[in-house]
Amino acid sequence: MLRIFAAVQTLRAGHKKDNKNKKITAKKGPIKAAFAVGIALFSASSLPAIAAKKVTEIPLHYLRLVPEARPVLSNILPPPKDLGEAGAELAIADSNTTGRFLGQHYTLNSQRFDEADALLKAAESIIKKDAVVLVDVPTALMAQLDKQAKEKGALLFNVANPDDALRTSQCLNNTFHTYPSRSMLTDALAQWLAGRRFSQWFLIAGPTEGDQAYLAALKRSAKRFGGKIVDEKSWSFDTDLRRTAQKELPLFTQAEDYDVVLVADEEGDFGHYVPYNTWLPRPVAGTQGLTPVAWHRVVEQWGAAQLQSRFIRQQERNMQSEDYAAWAAVRSVAEAVTQNRKDPKAYEASHIQQFLLSDKFHLAAFKGHKLTYRDWNGQLRQPIPLVQPRSLVSQSPQAGYLHPVTELDTLGFDRQESQCEMKNTL
Amino acid sequence: MKMLTTNKMLKQLRNLPAKAGLSALMLGSLALANPAAADMAYISNEKDNSLSVINLDTLEVVNTIDVGQRPRGIVFSKDYTKLYICASDDDTVQIMDTRTGQIIANLPSGDDPEQFALSPNNRHLFIANEDDALVTIVDTEKRDVIAQIDVGVEPEGMAVSPNGKIAVNTSETTSMLHWIDTETHELYDNTLVDQRPRHVEFNKDGSLLWASSEIGGSVVVINTENREILKKLRFEISGIHPDRIQPVGVKLSADGRYAFVALGPANHVAVVDAKSYEVIDYLLVGRRVWHMEFSPDQKRLLTTNGISGDVSVIDVDKLKVIKSIKVGRYPWGVAILPTEAMNQLQAER
């Protein structure tokens, strides 16, 4: 009995101390030795059939512009430094586990910049023929990088920019978007609000470009799903709300009767203080309160619990939307390469792009749906969880919103509303 | 803490005069559970940390047994004296004494055991460790880990061939079937299938392997000998979007006539002609149907429906759903204890 106990204890201890190599140490000598060899040689030695294969290296790049953050009022929880990168790293690890059976090895070269010029300079040497690059940059830079990618024959993945313009008017022909657009997020919220009959909306928006874009997305969603905007206010106060929220916000939220307050405050400047401080006792949603996201710790259905625990174990923090988008980008590439592994062109950027846009591609991505790309603008279709800090409230599209192609296209700008024609430009 | 208690309990049990002690100590649960002899279905409730026991004559829940955290895969030993339970969040496989309903031991299973298969030798458990990309082989007699084998990301489905020579594991994120030689404990082949393979099932003579792919929406039938895919089945239900058709559990009737495929959030079970591979019918069951098991006489098939929290009972001859039975939260696995086995267990007292 003691032995069992000891084995289990070893196991648990292993869980805590050593994350990378969690094998139970077998007691029998020869087996133990075999394990050690297996580990040392990346397990290939125990798989004679596979060890013989030639290993193909698949390098991926990641460029991030992280300018110094503007000071915000609610500066209590700073975003993690490796936001997004951590998701890509997990996907690289996942793909390498598969890759060792197929003779593929993925690597990631992540670079962070605080100035656009430095990033552009680095991009010159990275964006080359057949390069696959994940990017987290503002819209203007996005367009420049895409132009380079087109000239050189590279492929980009936008893993953090929600700008609707990039999906509708400023079409990027060599860039896929794994991060949802603002309109996808607000449509997801609006569908749920309509289902709950929270139809009278009171909007509050901050002054930044992002806040105004989010506000525009909310207004579009209101029109689309029957929300009525009873009032709209701009946030311009500059008091420290941790001390005076109780006094400021009730007055600020006086308006005609509303069912819900919708906040557009992407940087979390004042929005976190709106819930519980509204003049009327009403729920708060949008960038704070009930929030539409690409990913959140509370998502656990459809096998998501496993992705979450892998991420937490590897990164020691919770997985966020940007991490998920980067994860999905790397997994998309790996899936394309795996499916076409017998084709010598499988590793070419144009080939990957074609495959991702074809009906042969789908991604298992823990959201209860297979995910595909919109072939006109390269946007990853995806369900949008609606979350609050400790629970999943719902996931859109809501039941009953039908679409001739896929119900996922009830979220965001549809084909007819976009000028982009990615597939036709290949 | 839990481990210690179990160990202590076991020591105490050992010190008691064998059988007399056992029955005196733990008369209770089986007798209570079975007022009349009948086949009993054990259902693992993933979010209730319990098993629901259903009397298959009356089709009612007659007992609920508390077990470890997040119970998923469950399987009886070949002699039905023990029920093995994957307690995923406790990182252990628990052994329940069928007679008493008590957990008598915890096996070292590797982290996050999800599904497993018991070898025909009644001794070796092949366990998929979902968080660790490993398959762990445990000797249930010595209660010891024999080997661990590297497989793809998120290993899930497990099956051992009827002759005990091959174990097959599915890895969900790698989208592969891994073929393991049970003597050498080595991986000898990998078969790439559609995305998110969930479940594998050998036919009776072991010549064919059926494998479901949840996100790929397909089921493949593979020749075990050369690992070639003979047939890929797809499913189509009018009024249900193809994305929602996500095959998970597969069960083959012993007479070789049917294959039943649980279609997850499509809330249907597909009935397939196991010879022609034609889909014959789709049966509406509860929400998010995952796993299934036949009654010992093969006349009924039980399905676990996670979201609706119930079990649907299918009449196999008529291909009709005859009842749904409310169980615990998120029912996951199902294992069935036949009357004869139970009688024998009671007689042994």
Q: pLDDT at position A25, please?
A: 44
Residue A279 burial (CB count, 10 A): 15
Cβ within 8 Å of B, A 146-165: none
As given in the structure block, the two tokens for residue B300 are: 């009924």
In this structure, are strands A56-65 and A104-113 parallel, antiparallel, or unpaired? parallel
Q: Give the start-end residues of each E strand in A328-421.
A: 363-364, 370-371, 384-388, 391-396
Which CATH number covers residue B247? 2.130.10.10
- The shortest C-alpha distance from A372 to chain B (Å) reads 11
Letter for the amino acid at A275? P
Q: pLDDT at position A123, please?
A: 96
Q: How far is CA A201 from CA A89, A230, A260, B134, in A?
A: 40, 6, 5, 51
N residues, chain B: 349
* Of the partner residues A23, A97, A338, the one whose CB lies closest to the CB of residue B153: A97
Query: Would you say residue A33 has pLDDT above 70?
Result: no
Least confident of A77-81, A285-289, A311-315: A77-81
Query: Would you say residue A6 has pLDDT above 90?
Result: no
* Of the partner residues B147, B190, B214, the one whose CB lies closest to the CB of residue A26: B147
Residue-wise burial string across A406-419, b where 16 or more C-beta atoms lie within 10 A, e elsewhere: bbbbbbbbeeeebe
Helix residue ranges per DSSP H, A153-198: 165-168, 182-195
Q: Give the start-end residues of each E strand in A84-210.
A: 104-113, 132-136, 155-158, 175-177, 200-205
Asked whether the beta carbons of B216 and B196 are under 8 A apart, the reply is: yes
Asked if A370 and B195 come within 8 Å (Cβ–Cβ), the reply is yes
- Contact list in A for residue B134 (CB cut-off 8 A) is 22-23
Mean pLDDT of the A258-272 span: 94
Burial grade of A48 (CB within 10 A; 0-12, 13-18, 19 or more): exposed
Mean pLDDT of the A222-250 span: 85
Residue-wise burial string across A317-332, b where 16 or more C-beta atoms lie within 10 A, e elsewhere: eebbbbbbbbbbbbbb
Asked if A97 and B175 come within 8 Å (Cβ–Cβ), the reply is no
* Of the partner residues A4, A31, A46, the one whose CB lies closest to the CB of residue B143: A4
d(CA B71, CA B85): 6
d(CA A281, CA B39): 55
Q: pLDDT at position A341, please?
A: 86
Q: pLDDT at position B24, please?
A: 38
Task: Please give the residue of chain A at the shortest CA–CA distance from B150.
Answer: A43
> What does the pLDDT look like over A82-96, one tens digit per residue?
999 999 999 999 999
Picking from B143, B162, B199, B157, the residue whose alpha carbon sits closest to that of residue B78 is: B162
Only one residue has tokens 């009709």, namely B320
- Contact list in B for residue A40 (CB cut-off 8 A) is none
pLDDT band at A243 (very low <50, low <70, confident <90, very high): low
- Contact list in A for residue B190 (CB cut-off 8 A) is 50, 101
Report residue B83 CA to chain centroid gap.
11
Mean pLDDT of the A170-192 span: 97
As given in the structure block, the two tokens for residue A300 are: 């656990």
d(CA A117, CA A115): 6
Asked whether the beta carbons of A161 and A144 are under 8 A apart, the reply is: no
d(CA A35, CA A288): 49
Sheet holding B186-192, edge to edge: B155-160, B166-171, B176-181, B186-192
Only one residue has tokens 């309160």, namely A289
Q: Is A368 on the interface with B (CB under 8 A)?
A: yes
Non-local CB neighbours of B244 within 8 Å, separated by 6+ positions: B264, B265, B266
Non-local CB neighbours of A98 within 8 Å, separated by 6+ positions: A104, A334, A338, B152, B153, B171, B173, B174, B175, B176
> What does the pLDDT look like over A288-299, one tens digit per residue?
999 999 999 999
* Of the partner residues A47, A306, A407, the one whose CB lies closest to the CB of residue B187: A47
d(CA A174, CA B153): 30
- What HEC string does chain B produce? CHHHHHHHHHHHHHHCCHHHHHHHHCCCHHHHHCCCCCCEEEEEECCCCEEEEEECCCCEEEEEEECCCCEEEEEECCCCCEEEEEEHHHCEEEEEECCCCCEEEEEECCCCEEEEEECCCCCEEEEEECCCCEEEEEECCCCEEEEEEECCCCEEEEEECCCCCEEEEEECCCCEEEEEECCCCEEEEEEECCCCEEEEEECCCCCEEEEEECCCCEEEEEECCCCEEEEEEECCCCCCCHHHCCCCCEEECCCCCEEEEECECCCEEEEEECCCCCEEEEEECCCCEEEEEECCCCCEEEEEECCCCEEEEEECCCCEEEEEEECCCCEEEEEEECHHHHHHHHHHC
Query: Would you say residue A140 has pLDDT above 80?
Result: yes
Weakly modelled stretches of chain B, pLDDT under 70: 1-36, 349
Asked if B173 and A364 come within 8 Å (Cβ–Cβ), the reply is yes
d(CA B291, CA B148): 26
Instruction: Check residues A41 and A362 and name the one with the higher pLDDT.
Output: A362
d(CA A9, CA B92): 11
Asked whether the beta carbons of B78 and B342 are under 8 A apart, the reply is: no
Q: pLDDT at position B294, please?
A: 97
Non-local CB neighbours of A97 within 8 Å, separated by 6+ positions: B133, B152, B153, B171, B173, B174
As given in the structure block, the two tokens for residue A112 are: 């962070």
Number of domains in chain B: 1
d(CA A279, CA B316): 61
N residues, chain A: 426
* Of the partner residues A8, A98, A407, the one whose CB lies closest to the CB of residue B174: A98
d(CA A48, CA B227): 17
As given in the structure block, the two tokens for residue A127 are: 């964006």
Mean pLDDT of the A61-89 span: 88
Asked if B187 and A46 come within 8 Å (Cβ–Cβ), the reply is yes
d(CA B200, CA B264): 15
Task: Please give the residue of chain A at the shortest CA–CA distance from B174.
Answer: A98
Q: pLDDT at position B25, please?
A: 40
Q: pLDDT at position A342, please?
A: 86
Q: Is A40 on the interface with B (CB under 8 A)?
A: no
d(CA B63, CA A402): 43
Q: How far is CA A264 from CA A223, A233, A254, A272, B22, in A?
A: 17, 10, 17, 11, 66
HSE toward the beta carbon, residue A174, CA cutoff 13 A: 28
Report residue A213 CA to chain centroid gap.
19
Task: Please give the residue of chain A at the shortest CA–CA distance from B91.
Answer: A12
Residue A384 DSSP SS3 = strand
Domain residues for the domain of B305 are 2-348
As given in the structure block, the two tokens for residue A99 are: 């890759």
What radius of gyration, in Å, describes the C-alpha atoms of chain B?
A: 19
Q: pLDDT at position B97, please?
A: 95
Asked if A98 and B153 come within 8 Å (Cβ–Cβ), the reply is yes
Query: Would you say residue A351 has pLDDT above 90?
Result: yes
CA pseudo-torsion sign B13, B16, B18, B21? negative
Letter for the amino acid at A260? V
Report residue A343 CA to chain centroid gap.
30
Mean pLDDT of chain A: 87
Non-local CB neighbours of A36 within 8 Å, separated by 6+ positions: none
In chain A the domains, ranked by start, together with CATH numbers, are 2-51 (no CATH), 56-180+302-309+320-383+401-426 (3.40.50.2300), 183-292 (3.40.50.2300)
pLDDT band at A5 (very low <50, low <70, confident <90, very high): very low
Asked whether the beta carbons of B53 and B41 are under 8 A apart, the reply is: yes
Query: Would you say residue A34 has pLDDT above 60?
Result: no
Asked if A306 and B130 come within 8 Å (Cβ–Cβ), the reply is yes
d(CA B222, CA B328): 35
Only one residue has tokens 């629901």, namely B52
Instruction: Check residues A263 and A48 and name the one with the higher pLDDT.
Output: A263
